[in-house]
Amino acid sequence: MTNTEDQFLIDDLLGDGAPADPLETEYMPADRTLRKVSARRRFERISQKQHLADVIGQPPVPGESIHVVSTAKYDFWTFVPQIIDWIGRTEILYCSTWTLSRPNAVELFALADAGKISEIAFLTGLYFKRRETAVYAMLLDGIRARGGRYRAFRNHAKVLLASNRTQNAWLTVEGSANLTANPRLEQYVFTNDRELYEFHKGWMEECLKK
């Protein structure tokens, strides 16, 4: 990280004295763990000339996890349109990220307006809300216009959740990347498992309601 990025992360961890805001919360979900011992695993690496669908082929089947290392230009958002293409639509798209880029917000709303995402539930870090004000305002306005939910807190978790009950799809993507363009090496775990989905949904809902 650069010195600037270090300071932004410190701001998220300690706060910077900003006034109280109903869209911000000091709430932190309690520590929790989930132990999974039965998941089937696949391992993939994505190069700059490969697409996610070319490498993975199809989403994980129930009980399967796909571990991905990407040396490509892809960011965490890459999974969202691909998942939607695979499962048709998601009942709720849960997103947790430190920060977000404008092009990804634009595509998020396009998918929602096309009926591919029924509800948006979005968590970011305080850095995004306080430092990326133009993109933040666009995101918040778009989420509110579509009946979604948003909350900012001392967050650095990167998790996506998508579901489609009719296809038995309970998809979780956990990774190191933000929802921004990033040339760095990143890793992801892509899992189809309802117990894991509910595990992450639980702490996300706690934060959204505070």
pTM attached to this predicted model: 0.83
Q: What burial letters (b/e) apply to 39-51, b meaning 16+ CB within 10 Å? A: eeeeebebeeebe
Residue 210 pLDDT = 81
159-182 pLDDT per residue, tens: 999 999 999 999 999 999 999 877
pLDDT bracket for residue 32 (50, 70, 90) = low
11-22 pLDDT per residue, tens: 655 555 555 688
Selection from 178, 76, 72 nearest residue 125 by Cα: 178
Residue 176 pLDDT = 92
Distance CA 151, CA 94 (A): 12
All domains of the chain in start order, with CATH: 40-46+63-209 (3.30.870.10)
The number of angstroms, rounded, from the C-alpha of 28 to the middle of its chain's C-alpha atoms is 17
Q: Scanning the structure block, which residue is given the tokens 């989420």?
A: 143
Q: What does residue 65 show for φ and ψ, rounded to 5 degrees?
A: -120, 140
Mean pLDDT of all residues in 135-150: 97
Q: What percent of the chain has pLDDT over 70?
A: 81
41-87 pLDDT per residue, tens: 766 666 666 788 888 888 999 999 999 888 766 778 989 999 999 99
| Average per-residue pLDDT for the chain | 87
